Structure 1
Amino acid sequence: MPLTDLGLDELVGFRPEAPVPQGFDEFWRRTLAEARSHGGAVKAERVTEQYALRTVEVDDVRFPGWNGEPVAAWLLRPRGVDGPLPVVVTYIGYSGGRGLPTEHLLWSAAGYAQLVVDSRGQGRDTPDRGEGDGTQWVEGFMTRGIDSPENHYYRRLITDCVRAVDAVAELPGLDGDRVVLAGGSQGGGLALAVAGLSGDRVAATMPDVPFLCHFRQGAQTALEGPYQEIVKYLRWHSPHRVEQAFDTLDHFDGVHFAQRATAPALFSVALMDPICPPRTVYAAFNHYAGEDRTVTVWPFADHGGGCGANPPVQLAWLRERGLAPQL
């Protein structure tokens, strides 16, 4: 597979203008305040024995998300280790859910707690009952509620993801001062969003090949994947709905969240990525407000990024920042 975007020399300096939508901060302040106003307790049920695991404890968690609706998550911890443990809050890639706990054993093996957050409507355990305007005809989630930020699917999903950080404080054995956000593709975009909305409650964020960054660039340059849903939608509604659509999407753009995020950040980018073009990743990285920001470049990788070679990079990076568990 050839390079799918600009060369690395051009990408390093790629920092497109990214005007923030009017009322962006107030929109998110109001959205999160409304979600929190519904209250609701975090519930956790021990289910380790169902999965025949000997070194890991597993809890099936439900916490209140958008509109107070329950969001599913797995909480995994190394067995027999006293807390409080640093916790890696993990968000999932597009069209996937939390899956099974046996799919998420890396972080507990390294001594961390991990909260694996289901994606509403994408995972099987968290339905999406949210509003829609009836305009979506393209498959997937990108154009669901694209008539306005109030109705869009990602308003609900990002709210769920912020509420997952809220839930950490109610789960025993977790260190609320060492909350790390992680995820790849959509999960990486969600990690950026939560970092921008959660302030100093986040100790670090690790967005891998992040999706949901600079939607217009993504729609114009991605060769495959969910950005094409926007293209398909606008093909029939262009030109009169183009600006309206991107105005909506701007409220969920990782570039704007990056402009508000200050926690140490470890990005990754793949230069042969046909789904999340490298320029969209660098648009967010180069706008990131925190001074401690690093990007791992995988020059011959596609959307899989560094695959199995990436976790050792992340573990070492967290250790350098004092975020490794004390075992």
Structure 2
Amino acid sequence: MKIYYKEVDNSMMRHIEEKLKHLEAYIPELTKQEDHDIFWKRTMEEAKGKALNASLHELDYPIKQVRAFDLTYHGFDETPIQAYYIVSKQHQEKLPCLIFFHGYAGHKNSVSHYMKWLIQGYAVIAVDCRGQGRTGDYSKYSSDEMGTWVTKGILDKDEYYYRKVYVDGVRAIDFACSRPEIDPKRIAIMGASMGGGITLAVAALDDRPKLAVADVPNMCDIGLAMKQKFDGSLTIVEKFLHRHPEAIEQVYSTLTYFDNLNLCGNITCKTRISVGLLDLICPPMPTYGVYNRILAPKSMEVYPFSGHDMGIIEHIDKTIQYVNEHL
């Protein structure tokens, strides 16, 4: 674990250290349903049986040192998942590959956003999650009244939005492994917030990534997160339950299947997570609950005076160093 802070007085340091001891000791009980593992085994078998149908369309991008493509592939269903596939024009064979997932209500950003990786020789896949960015969603949801993704299909685990998003992420690995220029043993998955939650889930569902980097991840220890958060997508779940108090038990049951608390024990790759101790969207204790249950090699980056934002210059530089050292 690494902690980043400016010089502070001794009393503040003691407060931080006491808080970290409390977080590091937190080992929550799992909330897995009896059929949790069967559900995910069935889900992944269904996904493996479907054609990827990947296609690439090269872009006329103004940075001439890279080749940038619009990538489309079929995710969980026949929804065309939109992404970028980007490589340096000077690349050699068997490139390491970074797969990026964005935050809630975000998008894959611009090609130029990934230059710090491309100039080092990494291939990049940047995904627009279904229903967000340029990706649509062909799925039908019997519960879809709140107008946002976190409650789509929330009354049925087979319908639920996050089931499809997690599988869409695994399918991005399928595409990476299909490319002759990619080294399938050097794939990293990365993201922040919702993208961090997807990163942890994909690492749990697929053992091909060598590295997982999850900043301020969501979908962690969801029951506790709903008690502690003050903002973010889980507040929409509360609004849904305000309308439908009869559905409380069913909603909590559905969420257990997609809670990284119940998935993280299957992570096998080296994993790094970051937290801001002032985060009101993805609070630190639920994140630590998941981190403390990961059995794979792991590390935690702690920022005592940061909230839900890992766009700190020092953190970006540390991430570059970390990926370079371990991938």
Is TM more than 0.5 here? yes
How many residue pairs match? The answer is: 312
Alpha-carbon shift at residue 205 of structure 1 (Å): 0.3
SS at match of 2:292: helix
Instruction: Decide whether the 8 Å contact of 1:76 with 1:113 is kept in 2.
Output: yes
Instruction: Decide whether the 8 Å contact of 1:214 with 1:280 is kept in 2.
Output: yes
Aligned twin of 2:107: 97
Q: Residues 202-242 of structure 1: CA distance to partner in whole angstroms, max 9, x if unpaired? A: 1010000001111111111101111111111112322x322
Q: Unmatched 5+ residue regions in structure 1?
A: none
Task: Provide the rounded CA distance (Å) in 1 between the counterparts of 2:129 and 2:52.
Answer: 19
1:168 partner amino acid: A
Task: Provide the rounded CA distance (Å) in 1 between the counterparts of 2:315 and 2:93.
Answer: 26
2:303 aligned residue (295, 298, 312): 298
Instruction: Decide whether the 8 Å contact of 1:258 with 1:284 is kept in 2.
Output: yes
Alpha-carbon shift at residue 111 of structure 1 (Å): 2.2
Task: Provide the rounded CA distance (Å) in 1 between the counterparts of 2:48 and 2:167.
Answer: 10
Task: Provide the rounded CA distance (Å) in 2 between the counterparts of 1:137 and 1:206.
Answer: 33
1:63 partner amino acid: Y
Task: Provide the rounded CA distance (Å) in 1 between the counterparts of 2:295 and 2:148.
Answer: 31
Alpha-carbon shift at residue 58 of structure 1 (Å): 0.8
2:93 aligned residue (75, 80, 83): 83
Alpha-carbon shift at residue 13 of structure 1 (Å): 1.3
Aligned twin of 2:41: 29
Alpha-carbon shift at residue 306 of structure 1 (Å): 5.0
Tell me if 1:8 matches 2:16: no
What is the RMSD computed on CA atoms of the aligned residues? 1.8
Identity of aligned residues (%): 30
Aligned twin of 2:79: 69
TM-score by length of 2: 0.90
Aligned twin of 2:158: 150
Alpha-carbon shift at residue 272 of structure 1 (Å): 0.7
Task: Provide the rounded CA distance (Å) in 2 between the counterparts of 1:102 and 1:247.
Answer: 41
Aligned twin of 1:215: 222
Task: Provide the rounded CA distance (Å) in 1 between the counterparts of 2:247 and 2:194.
Answer: 25
SS at match of 1:67: coil
4+ long deviations beyond 6 Å: none
Alignment of 1:165-314 (within 5 A): 165-199=173-207, 201-238=208-245, 240-290=246-296, 292-305=297-310, 307-314=312-319
SS at match of 2:151: coil
Task: Provide the rounded CA distance (Å) in 2 between the counterparts of 1:103 and 1:195.
Answer: 24
Moved more, 225-234 or 64-73: 64-73
Alpha-carbon shift at residue 305 of structure 1 (Å): 2.6
Alpha-carbon shift at residue 117 of structure 1 (Å): 1.0
2:139 aligned residue (130, 135, 138): 130
Moved more, 266-275 or 6-15: 6-15
Aligned twin of 1:41: 53
Alpha-carbon shift at residue 245 of structure 1 (Å): 0.5
Instruction: Decide whether the 8 Å contact of 1:40 with 1:68 is kept in 2.
Output: no
Task: Provide the rounded CA distance (Å) in 1 between the counterparts of 2:220 and 2:268.
Answer: 17
1:253 partner amino acid: D
Q: Residues 258-292 of structure 1: CA distance to partner in whole angstroms, max 9, x if unpaired? A: 111010011100001111011111111011121x1
Alignment of 1:112-127 (within 5 A): 112-124=122-134, 126-127=135-136
Instruction: Decide whether the 8 Å contact of 2:78 with 2:138 is kept in 1.
Output: no
Task: Provide the rounded CA distance (Å) in 2 between the counterparts of 1:148 and 1:40.
Answer: 25
1:257 partner amino acid: L
Residues 149 and 263 from structure 1, CA distance in 2 versus in 1: closer, same or farther, beyond 3 angstroms?
A: same
Task: Provide the rounded CA distance (Å) in 2 between the counterparts of 1:254 and 1:105.
Answer: 30
Task: Provide the rounded CA distance (Å) in 2 between the counterparts of 1:62 and 1:137.
Answer: 28
Instruction: Decide whether the 8 Å contact of 1:298 with 1:306 is kept in 2.
Output: no
SS at match of 1:269: strand
Task: Provide the rounded CA distance (Å) in 1 between the counterparts of 2:55 and 2:145.
Answer: 36
Instruction: Decide whether the 8 Å contact of 1:75 with 1:114 is kept in 2.
Output: yes
Q: Unmatched 5+ residue regions in structure 2?
A: 1-14
Alpha-carbon shift at residue 138 of structure 1 (Å): 2.4
Task: Provide the rounded CA distance (Å) in 2 between the counterparts of 1:235 and 1:67.
Answer: 31
Task: Provide the rounded CA distance (Å) in 1 between the counterparts of 2:316 and 2:64.
Answer: 23
SS at match of 2:206: helix
